[in-house]
Amino acid sequence: MSETVQKLSTRHLLGIKDLTTRDIELIFETADTFKDVLNRPIKKVPSLRDITIANIFFENSTRTRLSFELAQKRLSADIVNFAASSSSVSKGETLIDTVNNILAMKVDMIVMRHPYPGAGVFLSRHVNAQIVNAGDGAHEHPTQALLDAFSIREKYGDVAGKKVAIIGDILHSRVALSNILCLQKLGAEVMVCGPTTLIPKHIGSLGVKVEHDLLTALNWCDVANMLRIQLERQDIKYFPSLREYSMLYGLNKRILDSLDKEITVMHPGPINRGVEITSDVADSKQSIILDQVENGVAIRMAVLYLLAGQAS
C-alpha cells in the first residue's frame, strides 16, 4: 500500500446510494491489492493492528459474518463478536444502549446486520463509531453488491456495457437493490426478472428493465444473478408452490445449454439447490459462485481498510 491513502467520500458504508462511482473504483483497486495478499503464503497484513471492530448480528448469517471476520483477521484487527439471540437484546435492551455499551469498551468500528431497514443509518446518527451495513432487512447489502460487481469486472475486464439480469425474489431481497444501484453507477444495464408478485410495483422507476419470462431474460443478459426465495421474509403466499416456481424460474443445465450464447451465472448464497438453480448449473464452468465468495474477503478487507483511513 502507498503512503498516501486515497479516501472514500463517506465515513460509513451504509448503502451503495451513498458511494460515488470513484468510491466504488477505489474499493475495487484496493481489493485488487488485497487479493494478491490473500494468494500469498502469509495472508496477513498489519494495516488495522490497533483497530477494534465489533461484529453485531441481529439476524442469522454464515457467509457474511465469516467473510467479515476473516477480512478483519487478515488485516490484524482486534475483533469482538456479538450475537443478538444470546444477548441482553432478548431482555428488552434497545439498539442504542447495546451499541453504546459496546463502544464504552473502546470499539472503533461496527459491522452490523439488522432485520429493520435503515438501522445502520439510525445508528450512525446516534453513536460515535464508523458503521458498516452488513444487511438491513430487505433494504441494502452494500458489500454483497460490491463483491458481485467486482466479480463481473474480474470476469469481463469491465462492468460498463454489460447486461445483468437479477432473477428471483426481488421484492424481499436486499441484494437486488444494492446490485441495481452499484451496477448502474458502473455503467451496466440491469433487468429484473421474476413472478409479478415478487417484483416491486415501481421498480421501473430505478431505470431497470422488467421481465417475467426467464428465457427472454437469459437470452438478453451477459450475467444472470440468481436470487433465492426468501421464505423467512414472506408473510403471505406469493406463488402456489416451490415446485411451480422452480418450473418457471429455476435455472437448469438444459436451459443454460439452449441459450444462443454462453452467459455467466452468479448467486449471492445461500443456494437452494433444485429451486432457483440446479446443482449442475451451480457447479458448472459458467458459474462464478465460489469466485464471489473468495472476492468477498478482498472486498471487505478493502472497505474496512479505507474506512479506517477516514478516522485517522
Nearest to 209 by CA among 197, 228, 194, 230: 194
Q: Which pLDDT score is estimated for 105? A: 84
Is 274 known to sit in a ligand binding site?
Answer: no
So what's the pLDDT on residue 93? Answer: 67
Q: Do domains 16-140+293-309 and 142-288 have the same CATH topology?
A: yes
Phi, psi for residue 210 in degrees, rounded to 5: -120, 130
Is 113 annotated as contributing to ligand binding? yes
Query: What is the model's pLDDT at position 152?
Result: 98
For residues 211 and 217, is the Cβ–Cβ distance under 8 A?
yes
CA–CA separation, 144 and 242 (whole Å): 25
Q: Is 63 annotated as a binding residue?
A: yes
pLDDT at 4: 54
The CATH class of the 16-140+293-309 domain is alpha beta
The pLDDT score that the predictor gives to residue 234 is 52
pLDDT of residue 90: 55
Ordered by start, the domain boundaries in the chain are 16-140+293-309, 142-288
228 is in an annotated binding site: yes
The DSSP secondary structure of the chain, one letter per residue, reads: --SS----S-SSB--GGG--HHHHHHHHHHHHHHHHHHTSSS----TTTT-EEEEEESS--SHHHHHHHHHHHHTT-EEEEEEGGGSGGGGT--HHHHHHHHHTT---EEEEEESSTTHHHHHHHHSSSEEEEEEETTTB-HHHHHHHHHHHHHHHS--TT-EEEEES--TT-HHHHHHHHHHHHTT-EEEEES-GGGS-TTGGGGT-EEE--HHHHHHH-SEEEEPPP-GGG-SS-SSS-HHHHHHHH-B-HHHHHHSSS--EEE--S---BTTTB-HHHHTSTTB-HHHHHHHHHHHHHHHHHHHHHHH-
270 is in an annotated binding site: yes
**Mean pLDDT in order along the chain per 10 residues (312 residues):** 70 97 98 96 95 91 94 97 67 75 88 92 89 94 98 98 97 95 98 95 96 98 93 59 90 96 96 94 97 97 94 60
Q: Per the CATH hierarchy, to which homologous superfamily does domain 142-288 belong?
A: Aspartate/ornithine carbamoyltransferase (3.40.50.1370)
Q: At what angle are helices 142-156 and 63-74 packed, to 10 degrees?
A: 80
Q: Is the dihedral of CA 60, 134, 157, 261 positive or negative?
A: positive
Record the pTM.
Answer: 0.94
